[in-house]
């Protein structure tokens, strides 16, 4: 009898058995604490970054920010090539890496990052000030590579409190350094130089936090060669996502106007918090699933529970956001941005379905080494998104972007869900039904309420609050047990942080 066919009592027993596997060596406690810590860390970083950007924006010109943005884009691509997905291969490996493995990884990644950084510096004179600013920012990449072995060890041990301290300290140092030097008259160079300073501080913090410190680079190709196949497929997903996002921006600007692209940027900014919460869940799910599979536990009940709980939690935020959009957007940004609100309903629905399935299934698929399915899902959703946007944008305007997000997320959910079901016999549709149905009904009611009240912040808050309350009531009526599971997980996650004691990071390294 498959998981999809089991009666509730048997299914509940399987979930308990899977949780027993999680409980071994404190894995469940660390995973729960990780959810709270990673989410809180993301919100803190977002707040610190926002305050820093406001201060710097009053001192610098848009051209200065643009030059630094070019440098940060190059950092992303350099890290993409330097990392090569090898770190993910060590995270999913059943046996922990030893110091020789980590040293070989350091040698390869630091060498690639240094070579690329020197290449950028070599061509910098051809592009004037922007080129030199980019070179200064990219000089941070070898120091970022030095942090990767420690991150692998801490991720394997689910030691997210230590990782949060490292990451938050880097953001604080970046903003303090940049603000101090910009106020002192250094201009854009104060902001650009903050990138390598931040990375150096990260190396020092990692030396303190990781049990392996910062391993000395060594060259041992045979130790990293076996990680290349999975690593390339893993990193190809990130590359495909970068190409998709930049390609979509270019297509929108070409088909419509740059102002339409600005509307899309505002919609993306409003979706940052839901993306942050979903990203926190994925970050914890990958190493947790890897450790769970190493213990030979059945992952199916936990995948189903993760999909249900994530859908309820994200649905609460996304329903309120979509319903409040007709008042929230013009109320916060001005009436000239009101059309951005039309993107959000479809985008929120797509993120609720696709995001919830993705964070629960991607971690499992990566843990079993099936990065090819994730890459296939990314390629298919990209093709669907481009097709919908390119066909519909000239006819219905910017709302087509939201429909493109919806269609692409549904495709991703189907591909990843089917691939996971083929391996584990999970049944995900039943976990999605109640919260998604409640979100559609409550979100529509809230949207209409906001439209009826007007295009201001008060109308948005009233419509959003009404939709959120209606969503909770409907989910309780449709699936009370799922709501109870979500509340229990949230409370357990918070308790795990305060009652978890000292993190044991020894399990992350041989």
Q: Are 387 and 329 in contact (CB under 8 A)?
A: no
Our CA angle for 91, 93, 99, nearest 5°, is 75
Q: Flag the least confident range among 37-41, 185-189, 227-231, 375-379.
A: 227-231
Q: Identify the burial level of 356 via C-beta atoms within 10 angstroms of its C-beta, where 0-12 means exposed, 13-18 middle and 19 or more buried.
A: buried
The pLDDT of residue 222 is 73
Model pTM above 0.75:
yes
Out of 17-21, 255-259, 439-443, the most confident range is 439-443
SS3 of 245, please?
helix
Closest listed residue to residue 263, CA positions, set 343, 321, 326, 345: 343
Task: Answer positive or negative: Cα dihedral of 274, 298, 24, 480.
Answer: positive
Separation CA 315–CA 471 (nearest Å): 8
Between residues 194 and 30, which one has the greater pLDDT?
194
As given in the structure block, the two tokens for residue 268 are 């993306």
Q: What is the pLDDT of residue 287?
A: 85
Tokens of 370: 């099936």
Site of tokens 């090898």: 86
Q: What is the pLDDT of residue 225?
A: 74
- pLDDT tens digits, residue range 144-164? 999 988 888 888 888 888 998
pLDDT, tens digit (0-9, with 9 covering 90-100), for 451-493: 999 888 899 999 999 999 999 999 999 999 988 988 888 888 8
DSSP conformation class of 357: H
Token couple for 103: 């040293």
pLDDT band for position 510 (cuts 50, 70, 90): low
For the chain, helix, strand, coil in percent to 5 are: 85, 0, 15
CA torsion sign for 410, 415, 421, 424 is negative
CB 352, CB 275: distance < 8 Å: no
Residue 415 is encoded by which pair of tokens? 């591909």
Ramachandran region, residue 210 (left: φ > 0; alpha: ψ -120 to 50; beta: rest)? beta
Structure tokens at 301: 């009940």
Cα 502-506-510 angle, rounded to 5 deg: 175
Give CA 377 to chain center in angstroms.
Answer: 17
Binned at pLDDT 50, 70 and 90, residue 371 comes out as confident
Arithmetic mean of pLDDT over the chain:
84
* pLDDT for res 3: 38
Rounded distance between C-alpha atoms, residue 505 and residue 501, angstroms = 12
- Give the C-alpha separation, 363 to 31, whole Å: 13
Rg (CA), the chain: 23
Per-domain residue ranges for the chain? 25-226, 230-478
């Amino acid at each position: 009898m498959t998981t999809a066919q089991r009666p509730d009592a048997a299914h509940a027993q399987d979930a308990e058995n899977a949780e027993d596997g999680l409980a071994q060596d404190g894995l469940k406690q660390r995973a729960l604490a990780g959810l709270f810590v990673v989410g809180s860390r993301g919100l803190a970083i977002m707040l610190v970054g926002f305050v820093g950007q406001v201060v710097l924006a009053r001192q610098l010109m848009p051209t200065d920010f643009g030059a630094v943005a070019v440098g940060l884009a190059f950092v992303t691509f350099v890290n993409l090539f330097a990392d090569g997905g090898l770190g993910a291969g060590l995270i999913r490996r059943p046996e922990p890496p030893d110091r020789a493995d980590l040293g070989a990884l350091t040698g390869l990644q630091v060498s690639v990052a240094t070579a690329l950084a020197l290449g950028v510096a070599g061509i910098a004179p051809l592009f004037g000030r922007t080129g030199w600013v980019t070179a200064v920012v990219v000089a941070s990449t070898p120091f970022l590579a030095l942090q990767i072995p420690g991150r692998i060890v801490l991720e394997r041990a689910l030691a997210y409190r230590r990782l949060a301290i490292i990451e938050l300290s880097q953001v604080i140092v970046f903003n303090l350094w940049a603000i101090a030097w910009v106020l002192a008259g250094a201009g854009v160079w104060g902001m650009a130089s903050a990138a390598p300073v931040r990375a150096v501080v990260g190396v020092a913090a990692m030396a303190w936090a990781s049990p392996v410190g910062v391993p000395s680079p060594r060259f041992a190709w045979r130790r990293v060669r076996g990680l290349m196949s999975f690593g390339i497929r893993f990193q190809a997903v990130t590359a495909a996502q970068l190409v998709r996002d930049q390609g979509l921006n270019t297509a929108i600007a070409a088909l419509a106007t740059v102002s339409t692209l600005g509307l899309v940027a505002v919609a993306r900014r409003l979706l940052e918090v839901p993306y942050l919460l979903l990203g926190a869940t994925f970050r914890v799910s990958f190493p947790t699933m890897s450790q769970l599979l190493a213990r030979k536990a059945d992952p199916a009940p936990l995948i189903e529970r993760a999909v249900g709980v994530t859908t309820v939690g994200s649905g609460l935020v996304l329903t309120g956001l979509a319903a409040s959009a007709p008042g929230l957007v013009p109320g916060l940004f001005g009436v000239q941005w009101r059309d951005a609100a039309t993107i959000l309903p479809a985008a929120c629905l797509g993120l609720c379905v696709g995001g919830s399935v993705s964070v629960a299934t991607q971690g499992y698929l990566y843990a079993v080494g099936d990065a090819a399915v994730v890459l296939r899902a990314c390629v298919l959703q990209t093709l669907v998104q481009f097709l919908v946007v390119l066909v519909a944008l000239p006819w219905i305007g910017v709302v087509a972007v939201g429909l493109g997000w919806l269609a692409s997320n549904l495709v991703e959910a189907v591909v990843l869900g089917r691939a996971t079901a083929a391996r584990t016999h999970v049944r995900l549709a039943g976990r999605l039904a109640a919260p998604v149905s409640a979100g559609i009904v409550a979100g529509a009611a809230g949207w209409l309420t906001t439209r009826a009240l007007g295009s201001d912040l008060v109308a948005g808050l009233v419509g959003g609050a009404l939709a959120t309350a209606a969503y909770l009531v409907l989910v309780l009526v449709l699936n009370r047990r799922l709501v109870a599971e979500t509340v229990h997980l949230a409370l357990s996650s918070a308790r795990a942080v305060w009652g978890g004691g000292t993190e044991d990071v020894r399990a992350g390294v041989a």
